Amino acid sequence: MTGKVGLIGTGLMGLPMAQRLIAQEIPLVAYNRTPEKLEPLRSAGAEIADTVAEFVQKSETIITILTNGDAIEETLLSDSVKTLLINRTVIQMGTIAPSESRKIQESIRQAGGDYLEAPVLGSIPEVKAGKLQVMVGATPEQFQQWQPLLQHFGKPMHIGEVGAASALKLALNQLIGSLTTAFALSLSFLQAQGGDVDTFMQILRESALYAPTFDKKLQRMLDHNYANPNFPTKHLLKDMNLFLQEAAASGLRADNLEGVRQILETACATELADEDYSALVEAVRGELDK
């Protein structure tokens, strides 16, 4: 790898990922549509671009950690910027639909650039520790070429061609929503019936039904404390919508997720949209309908 790495999208995940690259002494150019979010990176020594065009021109390799596929289209694939992508490699690391990823790949290739996807599983603590699970959708040759860069974030795994890693990431995020909603419902039902939470958790932990995420979210739900999120409720809703869209296109039945989506929509209609996704328990309890 030669030249500067550019990172566009310095939100909850993008900022610590950029900081990790700086800590590894990798020359970094950063851009965000909200300039205030770039100040920590400016202070850390990153070069800050004022426009997307300037960002692309100064970057040989571009990492995108944007909210969704539309944000990529509006920035890197706008008419004024797309022509600048010639001889650039774009590594898409956010959560988007596999169909979107393949469409973006086609547009970037037509512009003379190269593209691969590398969505990650994990959150801010894993970013800081360099222990993200990095799922790579690329050719074997691309994977070998970019593995040294991606290793700064965690353990890269070659999943398959472009689209394969995005599909796997959505499958995993569907489980986040479904498992958390199911746990919130059982917990809330038990509390409504006057049951003992400690006994419930003791039996659950010793059963095949247990998932570690239950304990990670238990105290937040008990305390009604959803501040300082690693993954906001609104982002989980976005991913659920993407999953349902792609599942329908594949002819799959996902009726159960319609209820999960409605619960997330109820939570996101309040100030809980920007809070930790465990806040969905408030919608399960019916507290937001009062």
* Identity of residue 174: Q
**Confidence band of 3 (pLDDT split at 50, 70, 90):** confident
Tokens for 15?
A: 């900022």
What does pTM read for this prediction? 0.94
Mean pLDDT (whole number) for 173-191? 97
10 Å Cβ neighbour count for 58?
Answer: 15
What number is the average pLDDT over the span 254-261?
A: 96
- Amino acid 288: pLDDT: 79
pLDDT band at residue 289 under the 50/70/90 scheme: confident
Which pLDDT score is estimated for 154?
A: 97
Phi-psi region of 25 (alpha: psi -120 to 50; beta: other; left: phi over 0): left
pLDDT score for 290: 61
Q: What is the DSSP letter of 112?
A: T
What is the CA 252 to chain-centroid distance, rounded? 23
Interatomic CA distance for residues 211 and 207, integer angstroms: 10
Q: Given a cut of 70, is residue 1 above it in pLDDT?
A: no
User: What's the chain's average pLDDT?
Assistant: 95
Interatomic CA distance for residues 170 and 15, integer angstroms: 22
Angular region, 154: left φ>0, alpha ψ -120 to 50, beta rest: left
User: Average of pLDDT values for 183-208?
Assistant: 98
Query: Is residue 2 pLDDT above 70, yes or no?
Result: no
Name the 3-class secondary structure at 65: coil
Share above pLDDT 90 across residues of the chain, in percent, rounded to a whole number:
94
Strand partners, 6: 29, 62
Q: What residue ranges define each of the domains in the chain, with the CATH number in brackets?
A: 5-161 (3.40.50.720), 167-289 (1.10.1040.10)
pLDDT at 287 over 80: no
165 vs 101: CA distance, rounded Å: 10
Q: What pLDDT shows up at residue 243?
A: 97
Q: For 211-256, write each residue's pLDDT tens digit.
A: 999 999 999 999 999 999 999 999 999 999 999 999 999 999 999 9
* Mean pLDDT confidence for 142-170: 97
